[in-house]
Amino acid sequence: MLKKIITLAASAVVVTALSACGGGGDGGADAAGSGDGGGELTMGFAQVGAESGWRSANTKSIQESAKAAGVELKFSDAQQKQENQIKAIRSYIQQKVDVIAFSPVVETGWDTVLLEAKRAQIPVILTDRAVDSDDDSLYETFIGSDFVKEGEKAGEWLVGEAGSDPTKVVEIQGTTGAAPAIDRKAGFEDAIKGSSNIEVVASQTGDFTRSGGKQVMEAFLKSNPDIDVVYAHNDDMGLGAIEAIEAAGKVPGQDIKIITVDAVKDGMTALSEGKINFIVECNPLLGDQLMDAAEKVVAGDELPKRIETEETTFDQEQATAALPDRQY
């Protein structure tokens, strides 16, 4: 299924941190949603849930940036259920907010509710995860990481690490149908496809949660006695896998190497301790970019369809050095 990531011909705009929005504007251009004439912009945000350390950091960033920018934020937690996100978006439409933003828990099934927002003339901004839609007029821009690149970085590290050694990999996927799960899997497979010595012997969803990662890893250990590497689509599932590996009497990071994505504090701590071997960063601090984009959209400015966040990778030494200053 071709997912339509709308990228301007010119290039995706790689933006590190747009300036935090100013306070509630000069009171001149009244934001329709506030009604108090104070120029404060009202945003409805439909969050995925609170499933991981990354999500908690993402929520904190959005809430803090809204406060700093003088944006009135209406916030909902969908507990990882699409129907709850759709309900929240419909509620924001009824409340006539100035702008709607959300992180789609899965890629498909959004066109109907986004068309309702479009008919209500409320602009929509996607953050973190993309939607798979043929109609790119349904949203103003998508602010987030390139998950395929994240998967490629994970695979490229393993290709370098494995050399020509026969290497059996088990993959703990993110939420079924979610853009990061689909793309991190695709990127990883693409990076290892030239290395016939590397084989993914099992792949299953752990739903981005620590408990999910532990349960899946317990099952993998029972059915695959000779696992060399775990590739987990986020730190939380990798940390759950560590619990299962230790309970099986093996040493994580040595008997079984672990690669994860996110680089939240708990993951970086495990990496600095040698229990994880490599982490690909996925930046959750999207709040400032979102508020800046919202103010521009409400002011009628044109935005690039794709705003890609910058991020890096960490080995054990780099994690140890970065931990003291880590914001999340």
Residues that bind ligand GZL (CB under 6 A): 51-52, 54-55, 128-129, 144-145, 180, 208, 234, 236, 261-262, 282
Of the pair 128, 152, the CB lying nearest ligand GZL is at 128
**Residue 122 or 182 having the CB closest to ligand GZL:** 182
Half-sphere exposure of 239 (CA within 13 A, CB side): 21
What's the closest the beta carbon of residue 286 comes to ligand GZL, in angstroms? 9
Q: Give the nearer residue to ligand GZL in terms of CB position, either 127 or 277.
A: 127
Query: Cβ of residue 186: shortest distance to ligand GZL, in angstroms?
Result: 15
Closest to ligand GZL by CB, 42 or 260: 260
Q: Which of 86, 71, 79, 73 lies closest to 55, judged by CA?
A: 79
Question: First vs last Cα of the chain: how many Å apart?
Answer: 34
Name the closest residue to ligand GZL (Cβ). Answer: 54
Closest CB 145 distance from ligand GZL, rounded Å: 6
Closest separation in Å from C-beta 167 to ligand GZL:
24
- Other Cβ atoms less than 10 A from the Cβ of 34: the count is 18
Alpha helices in 105-227 (DSSP H): 111-119, 147-162, 179-192, 210-223
Q: Name which of 167 and 175 has its Cβ closer to ligand GZL.
A: 175
**Closest residue by Cα to residue 33 from 95, 89, 91, 97:** 97
What minimum distance in Å lies between the beta carbon of 237 and ligand GZL? 8
* Residue 203 bridge partners (DSSP): 171
From the list 48, 98, 105, 38, the residue with the least C-alpha distance to 73 is 98
